[in-house]
Amino acid sequence: MQPNADFDPRVAARKLLRESRSGALATLTPGSGDPYCSLVNIATAADGAPLLLISRLALHTRNILADNRVSLMLDERKEGDPLQGARVTLSGRAAVTGNEHDRLRYLTRQPESEMFAGFADFSFYRIEIAHAHLVAGFGRIVDLTPADLLTDLSGADELLAAEAGAVAHMNEDHADALRLYATRLLGAPDGDWKCAGFDPDGMELQNGRVALRLAFPQRITGAGPLRAVLKQLADAARTG
């Protein structure tokens, strides 16, 4: 399906991926190959790849260690009939990640997991997406590629290096701007909105377990352009 003025499947799927904080993880049982499904908390790496923090004591982790093919379903969690909301199913392979940036991004989005992150049986996993299937309503059922979902990080080393400091700065000194982004630009209820991260395509806002994606008007790869676009968005929120 080609994007149109009303619906771009790539935008819809990326939004689901970036805003989800939990999902249904399907793994394969060793020997029988029977499918096993479990509920997991998730975050996303800078490029959008799903991140997990799971224990070797859990059945899904033991399944992954035997066969790392997985499927992860994410949905909008709308009120009412859940089948009326959008959902995306990601297929790929899960593997342990020792990337410190992945760890930081996960714990920023799942702060209650900090107490488990140091346990010897827990590890961070990254899912390398091979295929995605989006269901976003009648006539909006689309197969997507990894390139459709993931954010291009080329040339963005400066932004990624500055991310942690920028997140802390926004949360400590610009809480008013974050609330404006959420309420004025995204139509969210007022609340204790925090910044959860940046990438070249946008930023994540979070209030408890609720997360929102705010797309940038242009691709950002450095700290200076990030400051400029955050001011631009704040000005738009105040005058909009």
DSSP 63: H
Question: What is the distance between the alpha carbons of residues 62 and 23, in angstroms, rounded to a whole number?
Answer: 18
Give the model confidence (pLDDT) of 165-211 as tens digits: 999 999 999 999 999 999 999 999 999 999 999 999 999 999 999 99
pLDDT of amino acid 1: 47
Q: Which string of DSSP letters, residue by residue, matches 189-213? A: PPS--EEEEEETTEEEEEETTEEEE
Reduced to 3 states (helix: H, G, I; strand: E, B; else coil), residue 221 is coil
| Boundaries of every domain in the chain | 9-149, 157-239
Among residues of the chain, what percentage have pLDDT more than 70? 98
Question: What is the distance between the alpha carbons of residues 128 and 87, in angstroms, rounded to a whole number?
Answer: 19
pTM: 0.94
Summary mean pLDDT of the chain: 95
Residue position matching structure tokens 């790869």: 221
Give the model confidence (pLDDT) of 200-212 as tens digits: 999 999 999 999 9
Sign of the dihedral defined by the CA atoms of residues 142, 144, 148, 151, in that order:
positive
CATH level 3 topology of 9-149: Pnp Oxidase; Chain A (2.30.110)
pLDDT of amino acid 188: 96
Q: Which string of DSSP letters, residue by residue, matches 17-62? A: HHH-SEEEEEEE-TTT--EEEEEEE-EE-TTS-EEEEEETTSHHHH
H/E stretch holding 157 reads helix 157-173
Q: Which CATH architecture has domain 157-239?
A: Alpha-Beta Barrel (3.20)
Task: pLDDT band for 84, please (50, 70, 90 cuts).
Answer: confident
Give the model confidence (pLDDT) of 138-155 as tens digits: 778 999 999 999 999 999
Q: Please give the structure tokens belonging to residue 68.
A: 């790392």
Backbone phi, psi, residue 209, to 5°:
-95, 0
Q: Please give the structure tokens belonging to residue 170.
A: 């926004």
Q: Specify the long-range contacts of residues 182-187, CB closer than 8 Å, at least 24 apart.
A: 182/207, 182/212, 183/237, 184/237, 184/238, 184/240, 185/214, 185/233, 185/236, 185/237, 185/240, 186/212, 186/214
